[in-house]
Amino acid sequence: VRLEEVGEFGIIDRLEGMLRSGSDRIVCGIGDDAALIRQKPGFHSVLTTDALVEGVHFDLTYTPLDSLGWKSLAVSLSDLAAMGATPVCAVVSVAVPGSFDLEGVEAFFSGLKRCGEAYQCPVAGGDTVRSLRDFFISVAVEGEVESGKAVLRSGAKPGDALCVTGELGGAKTGFEVLSGRGEEDLFPESVRRFLEPFPRIREASELLRRLPVSSMIDVSDGLASEIGHLCRRSRTGCRIRREHIPLSREAARWAERKQKSIDPFLYESGEDYELLFTVDSGAFADPEGFRRTAQELQVTILGEITESEKGISVENNGKLARLATKGWDHFA
């Protein structure tokens, strides 16, 4: 069924039934002028938004709409994780061409709902409108964090350890595989990570519980770029070791197969949505405890935060080089 045949209010009716949630935080959700949300005393609210544009952020020739729905919410949830916050609810704006079919829009929202259920973030409202040509998505997420407990980008200081969760390079591998076509079965984890990334909500709160985390950011634009943001906001430099960067096995295998350098997978794999963070050196007073935590939470130490004057550098086979922190620029 084409959207033009169902009409705007037909779409809203379908989505309202589909997205209804039992959350006791949402006093009133889809169907009124705005969502009404019960707050927790002693908590700050956290608000963030991300836009995804067809042809720029996603390609519908190889992206299932259901996965696109998941990803649209996941990328904003990742921003909450990077603040140490937990999700409360989301509101979603989509603009779709009238020639689009209702089943496609429903698939999109069903993926979005699936992600919302996985991370306790129900959809509390939105706006579904027509676009002339391209599919646009913007998701805003409200989260919460105990007052005084949010982790900013600006808290790193010289001597802190710079760490990352999980592994890097998977999303870029997934993108290369999907856009090249035909080898999806050989790189299943990467394809999955690119299409349906995991925001590190639970990992973030576990990290904060167990380590003196001084600053944090999510890896959406690639490691080098995020290191740049974090050091710039904290007015520090840093020094990492290339061999410490946890490259995904599939990324290494793809690069070898295609005889390409692994460097873009190490430094420029956007959309991995791991957490890059710094830990106060006090954590190393108990090296055994730190080692255990790092292992259990899959944390890797990349290097050390330095004074700003030392700049941002990477050590590779004993040689020190400046790290180019430009990263993914939408307009460049």
Please report, as residue ranges, which positions from 96 to 125 form the binding site for its own copies (by CB under 8 A).
98, 124-125
Size of the chain, expressed as the number of residues it contains: 332
Nearer to its own copies, 32 or 296 (CB): 32
CB of 3 to its own copies, least distance (A): 5
Q: Which of 32, 117, 243, 263 binds its own copies (CB under 8 A)?
A: 32
324 binds its own copies (CB under 8 A): no
Give the largest Cα separation in the chain, rounded. Answer: 66
**Do the strands 86-97 and 123-131 form a parallel or antiparallel pair, or are they unpaired?**
parallel
Nearer to its own copies, 8 or 286 (CB): 8
222 binds its own copies (CB under 8 A): no
CA 230 to chain centre: 16
Please give the backbone phi and psi of residue 160, each rounded to the nearest 5 degrees, phi first.
-65, 150
CB of 287 to its own copies, least distance (A): 30
157 binds its own copies (CB under 8 A): no
Nearer to its own copies, 79 or 272 (CB): 79
212 binds its own copies (CB under 8 A): no
The tokens for 22 are: 């039992």
**Do the strands 26-28 and 123-131 form a parallel or antiparallel pair, or are they unpaired?**
unpaired
91 binds its own copies (CB under 8 A): yes
Nearer to its own copies, 48 or 173 (CB): 48
50 binds its own copies (CB under 8 A): yes
Give the neighbor-by-neighbor strand order of the sheet with 161-165.
213-218, 275-279, 161-165, 299-307, 236-241, 312-316, 319-322
Q: Which of 131, 205, 300, 313 binds its own copies (CB under 8 A)?
A: 131
**Would you call 110 exposed, middle or buried from its count of C-beta atoms within 10 A (0-12, 13-18, 19+)?**
middle
CB of 90 to its own copies, least distance (A): 9
Q: Which residues contact 54 (CB under 8 A, 6 or more apart)?
A: 60, 134, 135, 136
Candidates 110-118, 130-138, 264-272, 314-322: pick the segment binding its own copies (CB under 8 A).
130-138
227 binds its own copies (CB under 8 A): no
- Contact (CB, 8 A) for 215 and 138: no
224 binds its own copies (CB under 8 A): no
